[in-house]
Chains A and B, each alone.
Chain A
Amino acid sequence: MRSKYFQLGIKGLVVCLILVVATMFFIPDCRSQEVSSKFIVIGVPTSLGYPHGVEGLEAVNMAVEEINTKGGVNVGGVKHLFKVYSIDDRSATPGTPLNDSIMAYEKLILERKPNVLMVGTYRSEVLLGAMDLLSKHKTIELNTIAMSPSMEKRIAENPQKYKYNFRVTHNALQMAASIAVQGDAFQKKFGFNKAFIIHEDQVWAKATADGCEVMLKKKGWEILGREVVPTAVTDYSGPLLKARNSKAQVIFTVFSLPETAICSKQYYEMRIPAVYAGYPSYIVPGHLWKTLEGKVAYQVVTAGELGLVPTKKYPKSVEFFEKFKKRLGHWPDADHSGASAYDAVYIYKEAVERAGSLDPEKVIAALEATDHMGVNGREKFSPQHQIIFGNNPKETACEVTFQWIDGKRVVIAPEAIAEAEIQLPPWIKK
């Protein structure tokens, strides 16, 4: 009678499962009771299984610990401490339903009553959907991951309703502008003017590629073709072949998913006679040379944040990077969100202190007047709540362009912080 014991076992298993679930039910609830008025609650709704989310959260924690050990935030004469709660919105996992991610936001807002949300979702779809939610609950959000400029468009259309959203990192258009700056470097040094664009299929990537195309065309580039790669594809030979056949001199890529590192590898193996450039953000991390066995050599990358590709010309970035790397215990994996999440905490702290209150309306007014020297440069918000980017960290926030040479990330643009000049891969004959 084996099946008898088997059934007993199954029933035991079911009971155990129910018990486990029941205990899980009580754990989060006990914690939520202790929110005191002396705390400022920061909510972090993001994908906790993925680098941008994890590192964003770590950076927030790091900034919060620094501030708390120094005595916290002075809100109209009363000392407040920061407190961080996070929730997994699963937006980075392909195939998570939209309502699931938005419900994660709502759960965090309703249960923890955060004063501010930071880091935020991966997916622009969720960002746009959550805007209505934030305005309903009058909760401020400082985004550091999602890059869709549709956010500013909606804020411009209805500033009163959507004033709760701010973005501390770059948006897709600013990214495109930085890619165009790369184009300048190629044009000036080698006289290139034929480009091919490959980008992944996300809202922000599309917007970046669009912006990039317009800006490059304005500068006299010829765009020979454009290719969209669906998410979760790991064979890039098709688009790369197209780029090769078009006889382009530079391939501008716009990528963010982990698997896109493969594109770099494939490009190297196929020896495509065009420079691999643009924003393949997954080859930003410092350990990538080793992981990909040097197959990223001579690839030109624009990294979103100065704090994550530090340069000695802006000491604040180096200082942050060393601290952050030590805290993580390894090279940061994400190309953005870490440094800006760190800055976001300080921006919010300063805004609250200036406002002297936690009232969202006053804090928003104070946030709009932000002028903060952060690890990414000097940070000010545009009227549409987007950090302004430029080419000199002493004037605005700044994006960095570097090239992989001999296992090192050599900063080549913008000129104010460049360490060396751009080079061509040896297999390209000029």
Chain B
Amino acid sequence: MELLIYGLVNSAILAVMAIGLSLTFGVSGIANFAYGGFYILGAYTCWGLFTQLGLPYLLSVILSMAALAALGFIFYWLVFLRVRGMEISEAIASFGVGIAILEFLRWWGFIGFYYNLPGFLKGSVEIGGVFVDCHRLIIIGVALALVIFLWLFSHYTKIGLAFRGVAQEERTALSLGINSDFTAALSVAFGSALGVLAAITILPTGTILIDKGYDALLFALAVGLVGGLESTLGVLLASLILGFAQTAVAVYGATHWMMVVTLGAIIIVLAVKPSGLFGKSKELEERV
């Protein structure tokens, strides 16, 4: 029972983390490795607005999402645009920005548990003899909502279709009147905002911690890679697989092996099926 509930919670956490990255990297094909940095920056922004300026919680959530979306948009024009198409440079540049944000915040002194966000709901519930706090249940809800949203968004809205179009064949998309730079910038912005949402959903279970940024990037990548980057179903399935595997390992083995399971999964899946369990479109390109 514990395995079931906490496995589900863990999977939900992974899914929420992965969605922002999946949107930018998977759907529109930009490797935004600064994701971890944005994730934590968003959390601190929200913390600052809420506790320092005393704004209502919902407002500060929305404001911080908007701020980070704007930042993502600017970030695209300043950095990505210059190295567009050179995957390695994209990765290096964005990874550099991510590290710079995280380490700068660390230097600035954002360490300690003063920095924690309130949960949406207090208290805990008992399900089948297991106590779960309400907040963790909400994470499951958010994860489901986000997965559905992402799927609907990328399949039925114009922007979503444009994102996928740019990822699949940029020139054809251009010829169909999609402004590829604008679309790509938008996808970075969306991804960042979703990253902030993820941070605000997940971090109340603990405190805001710089190292969580690195974790977020790694886990999001793990989920994305295992599931197949452009596939929403893949994200869902991969987070279930990884989430349950981690929890199972933690409950029956040692907590130590949680990370090993994740990394092992990435390595195996990438070696066997480079485009992920559900990835299709990029198969040929990556495998040679």
Contacts and interface: CB of A to CB of B under 8 A. Distances in A.
In the complex, are there CB atoms of A and B closer than 8 Å? yes
Nearest to A7: B82
A49 interface: yes
A175 B10 CA distance: 34
A239 B255 contact: yes
Contacts of B247: 238
Interface string B235-267: 000000000000100110011101100000000
B112 A238 contact: no
B206 A234 contact: yes
A85 B169 CA distance: 59
B255 A229 contact: yes
A270 B113 CA distance: 20
Interface stretch (B30-38, B68-76, B145-153, B208-216): B208-216
Nearest to B134: A269
A232 B258 CA distance: 12
A228 B256 contact: yes
Nearest to B246: A238
Given A227-B255, A235-B206, A262-B206, A50 B2 contact: no
A291 B114 contact: yes
Contacts of B258: 230, 233, 238
A238 B255 contact: yes
Given A230-B259, A258-B112, A258-B113, A270 B206 contact: no
Contacts of B255: 227-230, 233, 238-239
Contacts, number: 79
Contacts of A93: 106
Nearest to B254: A228
B6 A227 contact: no
Nearest to B211: A232
Residue among B114, B250, B259 with most chain A CB within 10 A: B250
B133 A269 contact: yes
A121 to B, nearest CB: 17
Interface in A271-310: 271, 282, 291-292
B207 A235 contact: no
B248 to A, nearest CB: 10
Interface of A: 6, 49-51, 93-94, 201, 227-230, 232-235, 237-239, 241-242, 245, 258-259, 261-262, 266, 269-271, 282, 291-292, 333
Query: What 9 A-B pairs are tightest by C-beta distance, nearest first?
Result: A238-B250, A234-B206, A262-B206, A269-B133, A270-B131, A261-B113, A232-B211, A241-B2, A269-B124
Given A228-B256, A271-B131, A291-B116, 9 more contacts: A230-B255, A230-B258, A238-B258, A242-B251, A258-B113, A259-B206, A259-B207, A261-B207, A333-B112
